[in-house]
């Protein structure tokens, strides 16, 4: 059976859609893996700094283990709260992409049904050019619908990548460990002995001051993040609203074309 040019085109478009679905899944996987990896790096940086400070001030782990764990847990919680807002945005975008892919499948099925009817009645239609053109127009409407939903998929992929980059950028701004805390000078043997003597009298005081600073920085970070979290939510609402308008326009145009 010889395939029509329209049928060949629709099969190629269908194959392209399947490839783009795979690309979509990869894009979401990249978002989750790259952002979670960055958060782990941030948390590990704090854990390592706490261990370093304990060694510097001669602190026993058991004495401050509970406080250290609470600080680390709070830091994870603050980072997770921001991540969750971005992830919620990605999930809502995913739902719109699934809707778009579903509509593309409907367009492909519709095209095939119209093409089959046209082929079965081709002898009669060749003697009725007006009716034949109606079938051709409906086939074209299915192709247009598929391509228009492809535009929605492209917009969603762009928005997903923007969310990923924006979240990583926000993580780069986070510094609960201040610059003075980062400075680690290599001590001589004499300086090490002097530090041990200081630790006998003031080691706990200096370490507790370090922990208090970290706790305050995390609380400040939580306050700073609140406006950004609201901004991310509002941005997602606006984007989804735009996609919904696009979807309605595509569907209305399609209904008009095939009616």
CA angle (114 as vertex; 111, 117 as ends), nearest 5: 145
Q: What is the pLDDT of residues 48-95, one digit of tens each?
A: 999 988 888 888 778 889 999 999 999 999 999 999 999 999 999 989
| pLDDT of 217 | 94
Long-range CB contacts (< 8 A, 24+ apart) of 193-201?
195/56, 196/58, 199/57, 199/58
Phi and psi at residue 187, in whole multiples of 5°?
-90, 145
Which uninterrupted H or E stretch holds 28? helix 5-56
| pLDDT of 201 | 47
What is the number of structural domains in the chain? 1
| pLDDT of 85 | 94
- The answer to whether residue 178 scores a pLDDT higher than 50 is yes
Using 50, 70 and 90 to split pLDDT, how confident is the model at 13?
Answer: low
Encode burial over 107-135: b for 16+ CB neighbours within 10 A, e otherwise: bbebbbebbeebeeeeeebeeeeeebeeb
Q: What is the pLDDT of residues 84-124, one digit of tens each?
A: 999 999 999 989 998 998 899 889 889 888 988 998 898 88
Q: What is the pLDDT of residues 158-177, one digit of tens each?
A: 999 999 999 999 999 998 98
Expressed as residue numbers, the domain containing 20 is 5-258
Please tell me the pTM assigned to this model.
Answer: 0.80
Q: What is the pLDDT of residues 181-226, one digit of tens each?
A: 654 455 555 455 555 555 554 568 888 889 999 999 999 999 999 9
**In the chain, pLDDT over 70 holds for what percent of residues?**
81
- The answer to whether residue 25 scores a pLDDT higher than 50 is yes
**Neighbour-count burial of 8, counting CB atoms closer than 10 A to its CB (0-12 exposed, 13-18 middle, 19+ buried):** exposed
Q: What is the pLDDT of residues 137-162, one digit of tens each?
A: 999 999 999 999 999 999 999 999 99
């Amino acid at each position: 059976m010889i395939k029509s040019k329209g049928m060949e085109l629709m099969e190629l478009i269908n194959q392209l859609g399947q490839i783009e679905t795979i690309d979509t899944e990869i894009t979401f996987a990249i978002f989750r893996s790259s952002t979670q990896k960055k958060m782990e790096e941030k948390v590990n940086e704090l854990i390592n700094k706490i261990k370093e400070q304990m060694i510097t001030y001669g602190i026993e782990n058991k004495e401050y283990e509970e406080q250290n764990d609470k600080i680390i847990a709070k830091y994870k919680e603050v980072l997770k709260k921001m991540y969750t807002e971005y992830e919620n945005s990605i999930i809502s975008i995913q739902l719109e992409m699934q809707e778009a892919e579903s509509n593309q499948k409907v367009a492909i099925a519709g095209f095939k049904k119209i093409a089959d009817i046209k082929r079965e009645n081709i002898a009669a239609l060749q003697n009725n050019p007006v009716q034949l053109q109606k079938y051709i127009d409906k086939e074209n409407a299915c192709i247009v619908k598929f391509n228009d939903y492809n535009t929605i998929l492209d917009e969603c992929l762009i928005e997903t990548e923007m969310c990923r980059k924006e979240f990583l950028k926000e993580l780069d701004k986070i510094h609960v460990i201040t610059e003075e805390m980062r400075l680690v000078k290599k001590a001589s043997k004499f300086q090490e002995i002097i530090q041990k003597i200081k630790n006998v009298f003031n080691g706990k005081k200096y370490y507790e001051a370090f922990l208090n600073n970290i706790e305050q920085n995390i609380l400040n970070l939580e306050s700073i993040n609140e406006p950004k979290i609201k901004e991310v939510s509002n941005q997602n609402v606006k984007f989804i609203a735009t996609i919904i308008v696009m979807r309605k326009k595509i569907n209305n145009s399609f209904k008009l074309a095939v009616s």
